[in-house]
Structure 1
Amino acid sequence: MIPSCDPAAEAVFRRVRADNDLEVTVERLLCAIRLGVVPEGGRFPAERDLSARLGVSRVTLREAIQLLRRRGHVESRRGRGGGTFVAVPPPRPTPDEARRGLGAAGTALDDLLAFRRTLETGAVVRLAETGLTTDQHDLLDRRVGVAADAGPADYRRCDTVFHITLAQLTGSERTVAAVTDTRMRINQLMDVAPLTEAALAASDGEHRRIVRAVRARDPEAARLALGAHLAGVERRLRELLG
């Protein structure tokens, strides 16, 4: 079961507000997979609960699941303990498939990376300017600790939760939604390359520098720390996708 307090789950499984319910529902379920909200082999919430959380009909949800099943992202199991599960292993894009996905979405890689940097820089600078409560600082420390303890299989989800938490602490729902959507697209691209232990260790140190800058209420240090953190991902994606 996905904890109701999981910030990535809260962001992904929020109510659908769009004319094309089916398309958006498919995108949300894919987002849950790519962000690691529902991990490999993990089960989605029960159909009744998930349709209520998304605010769509069970018919629409079933159609979305059928589309994802045909694409190989999920599998359905019947009987006791059944439900909808993320495929093991889930489909991994090749660099060419990742490039085509960007093209189909009408998004250039540089545009996506610039948008993410703008969003997340704005978030950490605002947090450093306004300050956080003791409980909020403790929450960030816990997020950093959970990511540091995670192995390669779960790291991307924990890293995603850390970044979404930064967005949530700004108090802006639009920022949370935009960061979640952008991170989903970044994760889809990063699935092309496996994580390494060295990359995980570097990322952990960068997380801690971001949190220290926010705690010190130093907007410039927060901007620089966040920029250094994103630079490695940007460099890697440009190497992979050109």
Structure 2
Amino acid sequence: MSQPEAGALAESAAEAVFRPVRTGNAFEETVERLLSAIKLGVVARGGRFPPERELAARLGVSRITLREAIRALQEAGYAESRRGRGGGTFVADVPPRPSRAEAQRMLQRTGADLEDLFTFRRALETGAAVRLAEEGLSPAGDRLLAERLEAVDAAPIEDYRRCDTVFHHTLAELTGSASLTGALAETRMRINDLLNAMPILARNLEHSSAQHRAIVDAVRGGRPEDARRAVGEHLEGTEALLRAFLA
């Protein structure tokens, strides 16, 4: 399998988020794209967005529209602007966490069924892991996956969700499929909207860490069925928590 180099892999999530706006309401979609960049960890907590001129060009919107979208994120507590040398638009160090009721409303607004969302996510993430186990990893891909696993294991609680999202997204990126990567990015964003309303429990992180390692071991060992089983067990835990929380 021909796989992208690590540098290209690091850019694929950003490319999926910062693609040209296509809908008639440029403002709303621009806000959505910027929020996606935050929720998917494309721009980390405390990190800086690309310069305004570059970002407007990548999104295909006017700088006026971009500024209005950034202002909306600032008012909602997701971003902040800094002036002077090294200034720009930065992700807030402590983004707001939605309440359970707000998470329920988010799900209702999308018109999505929770079980349908879970099924689609399972298909994407299981398919990515099985594909990698079948085809094998390039040396660059193996190093990148190890780095992402180490990062999520070492992440403090306040940065765990971002590192976890990046780890899962890396599995999709390593398949070399832009379609799969883009679909997973959108699905993870919707899942993260719901997860962000839930407190993170240290005990859950211990289970997640062991399950992440089982997924990586199966992929590296070329064991597709073990990869399928490991991903399924991992996602079952998240699904059970969300069902209980949103009931």
Q: Same fold (TM over 0.5)?
A: yes
1:118-129 to 2 correspondences below 5 Å? 118-129=123-134
Match of 1:216 in 2: 221
Match of 1:154 in 2: 159
Match of 2:206 in 1: 201
For residues 99-152 of structure 1, what are the alpha-carbon distances to aligned partners after superposition, in whole Å with 9 as ceiling and x for unaligned?
111111111211111111111111111112222223212221111111111111
For residues 2-48 of structure 1, what are the alpha-carbon distances to aligned partners after superposition, in whole Å with 9 as ceiling and x for unaligned?
x9835543433344444443322211111122223334443322211
The answer (yes or no) to whether the contact 2:45–2:159 under 8 Å persists in 1 is no
- The whole-number CA distance in structure 2 between the counterparts of 1:64 and 1:25 is 6
Cα 1:6/1:148, change in 2 over 3 Å:
farther
1:11-160 to 2 correspondences below 5 Å? 11-160=16-165
Q: What residue ranges of structure 1 are gaps of 5+ in the alignment?
A: none
CA shift for structure 1 position 52: 2.7
- The whole-number CA distance in structure 2 between the counterparts of 1:6 and 1:80 is 26
Q: CA RMSD in A?
A: 2.1
Match of 2:3 in 1: none
CA shift for structure 1 position 188: 1.3
Q: What residue ranges of structure 2 are gaps of 5+ in the alignment?
A: 1-6
Match of 1:235 in 2: 240
Runs of 4+ deviating beyond 6 Å: none
Q: After the TM superposition, which of the residue ranges 138-147 and 72-81 deviates more from structure 2?
A: 72-81
CA shift for structure 1 position 89: 3.0
CA shift for structure 1 position 87: 3.5
- The whole-number CA distance in structure 2 between the counterparts of 1:39 and 1:179 is 18
Cα 1:146/1:20, change in 2 over 3 Å:
same
- The whole-number CA distance in structure 2 between the counterparts of 1:154 and 1:94 is 19
**Letter matched to residue 90 of structure 2:** F
The 3-state SS of whatever aligns with 2:199 is: coil
The answer (yes or no) to whether the contact 1:7–1:165 under 8 Å persists in 2 is no
CA shift for structure 1 position 156: 1.2
**Letter matched to residue 54 of structure 2:** D
**Letter matched to residue 104 of structure 2:** R
- The whole-number CA distance in structure 1 between the counterparts of 2:127 and 2:24 is 30
The 3-state SS of whatever aligns with 1:195 is: coil
Identity %: 57
- The whole-number CA distance in structure 1 between the counterparts of 2:176 and 2:45 is 31
1:186 aligns with 2:185: no
CA shift for structure 1 position 237: 0.5
- The whole-number CA distance in structure 2 between the counterparts of 1:18 and 1:173 is 21
The answer (yes or no) to whether the contact 1:36–1:154 under 8 Å persists in 2 is no
- The whole-number CA distance in structure 2 between the counterparts of 1:18 and 1:175 is 22
The 3-state SS of whatever aligns with 2:112 is: coil
The 3-state SS of whatever aligns with 1:61 is: helix
1:176 aligns with 2:181: yes
The answer (yes or no) to whether the contact 2:23–2:29 under 8 Å persists in 1 is yes
CA shift for structure 1 position 97: 0.7
The 3-state SS of whatever aligns with 1:194 is: coil
Calculate the TM-score normalised by the size of structure 2. 0.88
